[in-house]
Structure 1
């Protein structure tokens, strides 16, 4: 039996923290969603968009070393730590964004990852998605053997206290789950919710500015429903190293254009060098301003997301 990858269950956004014995609370890690498929012979890894990642994370393919199941589908998140010891999206994207797989063996040592497992969807020939979350978590605790590269995501009963700790540690946020909930494949509903400690989005890069011949900031945009690209702010701070700024400078040479790709005029239009809207980047930001621009956007990492997917979402 060979599995076909699925689209995982997603939480919806909330600002509230529910109370009651049926709710549990988990840290939302700043990583990459990853599902593990083991049919009893082969192990395959896929992300939420059903793109294969088996060869990106070879340390996670020896499933018998950390899971007692004869066949299984596991759901979790791959994280990598930054120099501050906290999960870093920038670092994990150094692994997940690899195009040349011969680099994996080198980066495996310089960017170690941990697989944070939080659910089980299939076990020993039986689909588990209609079982209650409480039952699935009990099964997970019996099957998973934690180690350096694999951990079970812990659950907490007091959401207020956990969120206070998340704020103090400057972590991404919290996931809120109903213990009675089923796992809805390719769905989302209020039985899983997420409360962010900060906002994030994926934006299109359609312009840059330079300092001493090196790119030093990105002009960001989102598309509206009519396909128009709107400028939403510029970002120059973040976790990119000087070598990465230099690499970006070389990369955009073939993307330069004389035409302003934005429907509206950016505030830094006199300094801007326009580029074709081909690159996408994940940024954190404090809030939206009244002028519908990002306040204090911070670059996290470039991502492999089509620019056409970077659109305004009124629900956000």
Structure 2
């Protein structure tokens, strides 16, 4: 691999914003719900995959290595997302299964949205619109499992599209912007719809001996815990955990969870939760309790 194509310390990251910037200087892309990935190609079939922390990931995603190896688009570095497309929308939880296992899965796809090097030349100082045009020219036809995401110029219309179809959100890109590491910029913003789920409460977390929060399971995975309980709910939950003691339903726990005082339940119950998003490790970010049961 060419040592000339140095990777950034971290990829350029979108800044969360409740607003969609508008004007002729802005373009918009769908936010793919997957695992952020940098790809370095040597132009001869060599493929290197890196996580957003710029850690090697070829061993985690052999199917993506196999998918990209036949490409002959010159020595380049692509910025994109590994996603699992279920036929109607990306499924983030299925990609996480990919992150945490080594089982081959040819349903994973790679979606490119930016390019850092072209023909071995660093193009990060070029305007995004030019970088994108070069990237799109390398993929004149969309393949089912590797393609460049579209760039559109009507942000509110794209936002309406993703909401109607329950996709994650949109990315706003300043068309004349260079590629800047992390979030040290005002060139790239993300607006996402909130995650709303119905989760199983499988445990009750205590703090100083008192009910503090609810331990959540969603699609058979630990997804974090949520607080926001009022005094009446805490009293009822305290009685419930004494009446229905159980065992931990998860095969493994984080160090933090192992140190926590959790009363596991033999009888789980449902609660409704909203959150900003799932983290890359599958944990809900800033979850809020909406209520109990599956309707509300």
TM-score, structure 2 normalization: 0.69
CA RMSD of aligned residues (A): 3.5
Following the alignment from structure 2 to structure 1, what is the Cα–Cα distance between the partners of residues 249 and 265? 15
Change (3 A) 1:67 1:217: farther
Following the alignment from structure 1 to structure 2, what is the Cα–Cα distance between the partners of residues 5 and 218? 43
Bigger Rg over Cα: 2
Deviation per CA, 1:211-263: give whole Å up to 9, x if none: xxxx9536689xxxxxxxxx98435353337xxxx995343599986x645xx
For the 8 Å contact 2:48–2:65, the answer to whether it is kept is: yes
Change (3 A) 1:66 1:232: farther
The count of residues paired between Structure 1 and Structure 2 equals 240
Counterpart secondary structure, 1:162: helix
Structure 2 counterpart of 1:158:
154
Structure 1 counterpart of 2:289:
295
Deviation per CA, 1:23-60: give whole Å up to 9, x if none: 11111111000110123452100010112111332333
Residue 74 of structure 1 pairs with residue 78 of structure 2: yes
Deviation per CA, 1:265-315: give whole Å up to 9, x if none: xxxx76679xxxxxx642267x6xxxxxx2349xxxxxxxxxxxxxxxxxx
Structure 2 counterpart of 1:283:
284
Structure 2 counterpart of 1:251:
252
For the 8 Å contact 1:31–1:78, the answer to whether it is kept is: yes
Counterpart secondary structure, 2:152: coil
Change (3 A) 1:270 1:252: closer
Structure 1 counterpart of 2:112:
117
The 5-angstrom pairing of residues 41-120 of structure 1 reads 41=44, 42-62=46-66, 63=68, 65-69=70-74, 71-82=75-86, 85-98=88-101, 101=102, 103=103, 105=104, 108-109=105-106, 112-120=107-115
Shift of 1:19: 1.6
For the 8 Å contact 2:110–2:147, the answer to whether it is kept is: yes
Structure 2 counterpart of 1:228:
none
Please, which runs of 5 or more residues in structure 2 have no aligned partner?
222-246, 267-280, 292-296
Structure 2 counterpart of 1:128:
123
Change (3 A) 1:188 1:260: same
Following the alignment from structure 1 to structure 2, what is the Cα–Cα distance between the partners of residues 50 and 218? 35
Change (3 A) 1:251 1:115: same
Change (3 A) 1:250 1:140: closer
Deviation per CA, 1:110-156: give whole Å up to 9, x if none: xx111110000001121010000111111011112531220111111
For the 8 Å contact 1:66–1:146, the answer to whether it is kept is: no
Counterpart secondary structure, 1:249: coil
For the 8 Å contact 1:86–1:171, the answer to whether it is kept is: yes
Shift of 1:81: 2.7
